[in-house]
Amino acid sequence: MATNIPYIELANGVMIPQVGLGVFRMDDEQVLNSVKWAIESGYRHIDTASFYDNEEAVGKAIKESGIDRKYLFITTKVWNNIRGYDETIAQFNNSLQKLGLDYLDLYLIHWPAAGFEENWRAMEDLYKAGKIRAIGVSNFKAHHIEQLLKTATIAPMVDQIETHPYLQETDLHEYLQEKHIAHESWSPLGAGLNKVVDNPVIKELAEKYRKSPAQIILRWHIQRGEIVIPKSTHENRIKENIDLFDYHFDLTADEMTKIATLDSDQRVGADPDDEEFLEKSTTYTNQNNAK
């Protein structure tokens, strides 16, 4: 199936598909099926992490897809239990081996836990060595990025943060634009936890455009210039989540403003400034022992 997913140019010229598949909290069988359906539907961007403990399954699904590696965009992340230059290099090589790849398209620091500057120093060298096409961060607020930039020689190209209509991160969004850092949204639909898909404003727009509430929300992200990585283990929803680019499906300025009024600073995940969470998270090795 041909894809009409647009690409966004990162600060270094690398092109990233604006819609990808997230695989958080998927077991191996779910990953194999979801990645298969996604690639068949036209996705070329898959987002995983060492913390998800499913990089091997992602690698297997990629191999089984038969798609030439150069047409895929693969992201993984280094978790908070890994700090230090040598440790980051080792973790990167471990992830690469699990994925069955010889390079990564994007490597991210998963959270701004203490010591992330040394992660970044290692990632800069991996980037310079051609092992990673782009490097970035995840869950970094503006002050975390400013702290990183004090020692960095290369600025992050992406910041992957929780974003949805109930947590729009408008100030951070504008900061990232000013810094030429791409805004990538995780939990773009609220992870099914905040019921944003049931909001009357969203449902009214869904009826108007004959789209699902999820498609309205994803289209809102797209028109803000964000990269989105919605997760699904259902084939029909995986297909639905990239059916966003019909010539007649374009939210008006007034409709974008209506959705903007829904912002309530309501998180479904941890706050990156929660020091207790960040400290505790360094004791986890994967999502299965994060209690």
| Three-state DSSP string of 9-55 | ECCCCCEEECECEECCCCCHHHHHHHHHHHHHHCCCEEECCHHHCCH
Residue 291, pLDDT score: 35
What gap in Å lies between CA 85 and CA 211, rounded to an integer?
47
* pLDDT in 10s for each residue of the chain, 291 residues: 445 899 999 999 999 999 999 999 899 999 999 999 999 999 999 999 999 999 999 999 999 999 999 999 999 999 999 999 999 999 999 999 999 999 999 999 999 999 999 999 999 999 999 999 999 999 999 999 999 999 999 999 999 999 999 999 999 999 999 999 999 999 999 977 778 999 999 999 999 999 999 999 999 999 999 999 999 999 999 999 999 998 889 999 999 999 999 999 999 999 999 999 999 999 988 876 553
Using a 10 angstrom Cβ sphere, with 0-12 exposed, 13-18 middle and 19 or more buried, the burial of residue 128 is: exposed
Sheet-wide strand order for 45-47: 21-22, 45-47, 73-78, 106-109, 135-138, 158-162, 182-186, 227-228
The catalytic site residues sit at 52
> CB–CB of 134/227 below 8 Å?
no
Closest CA to 37 of 186, 243, 236, 244: 236
Residue 288, pLDDT score: 67
* Distances 154 to 17, 134, 157, 187 between C-alpha atoms, Å: 22, 10, 9, 27
Non-local CB neighbours of 195 within 8 Å, separated by 6+ positions: none
Write the single-letter amino acid at 221: H
DSSP 8-state class, residue 135: E
Residue 248, pLDDT score: 85
Residue 3, pLDDT score: 58
Is the Cα torsion angle 259, 262, 268, 274 positive or negative in sign?
Answer: positive
Closest CA to 182 of 122, 108, 250: 108
Using a 10 angstrom Cβ sphere, with 0-12 exposed, 13-18 middle and 19 or more buried, the burial of residue 119 is: buried
Name the token pair of 154: 């290369």
Enclosing H/E stretch for 275: helix 275-281
CB neighbourhood size of 258 (10 A): 17
Check: pTM over 0.85? Answer yes or no: yes
Buried/exposed code over 177-188 (b: 16+ C-beta within 10 A; e: otherwise): eebebbbbbbbb
What gap in Å lies between CA 258 and CA 261, rounded to an integer?
5
Any idea which residue has 């598909």 for tokens?
A: 17
Residue 125, pLDDT score: 98
Residue 4, pLDDT score: 86
